[in-house]
Amino acid sequence: MMKYTLFRLLAFSGMRIGELIALEWSDVDFASQSVSINKTLTLDKYGQATVGSPKTTNSNRAVLLDDVTMTILRQWRAEHARRIIYFGKPRNNLVFASEHGGHLSNGTIKGWNKKIAENKGLRAISLHGFRHTHASLCFEAGLTMQDVKERLGHSSISTTMDIYTHVTNDRKEESVQQLAKFMRA
């Protein structure tokens, strides 16, 4: 259940992997159906994991989530609480903790991702690829550049445009084809 919830949240929120790893239950607001992104896990110059501020000021944000993702998070929270009662750990506020109660590592999550892809006969995407996929799907769903900028926590709309130009170019081509089809009708 933890892996499914983790990858679901990664895909449906557009979070950076460090933001997801640092996520605590106090950051999840079930009433407003949102997740507050206010910290990230990074490696310091000695290779030690440290929790700090997000990448930019705009990276501090609340991301609204759909009903299904919130239901899955509720189910995971209930299972997580049962695990604490049964195993006695992890005794922390992390949404996704390692079996020893600490922060998960990128390597662990990459391994899960690779194994799941292999088992399902899929091509594995990078963990950051979930963020790109989220953005692409947001554009496909008709969200504006400003909407996507805010969901991803980019500091400027030009950052979003620079990174996702290929998506907007694909959308432009599709728009031209739709217009031509409409005009022929």
Q: Is a pLDDT exceeding 70 seen at residue 168?
A: no
**Exposed, middle or buried: residue 130 (CB in 10 Å: 0-12, 13-18, 19+)?**
buried
**CB count in 10 Å sphere of residue 63:** 20
Give mean pLDDT, residues 152-156.
Answer: 81
Q: What is this structure's pTM?
A: 0.79
Encode pLDDT of 43-90 as tens digits: 778 877 778 787 777 788 999 999 999 999 999 999 887 776 666 665
- Cα three-residue angle 74-80-81, rounded to 5 degrees: 95
**How far is residue 129's CA from residue 135's CA, in Å, rounded to a whole number?**
10
125 vs 9: which has the higher pLDDT: 9
Question: Could you tell me which CATH number the domain at 2-184 has?
Answer: 1.10.443.10
Cβ atoms of 118 and 106 within 8 Å: the answer is no
Residue spans per domain, the chain: 2-184
Q: What percent of the chain has pLDDT over 90?
A: 36
Q: Is the pLDDT of residue 13 over 60?
A: yes
For 125-147, what is each residue's pLDDT tens digit? 888 888 888 888 888 788 888 88
**What confidence tens digit (pLDDT) does each residue in 101-115 have?**
788 888 899 999 999
Which alpha helices (DSSP H) does the chain contain, by range? 2-13, 17-22, 67-87, 106-120, 127-140, 145-152, 157-184
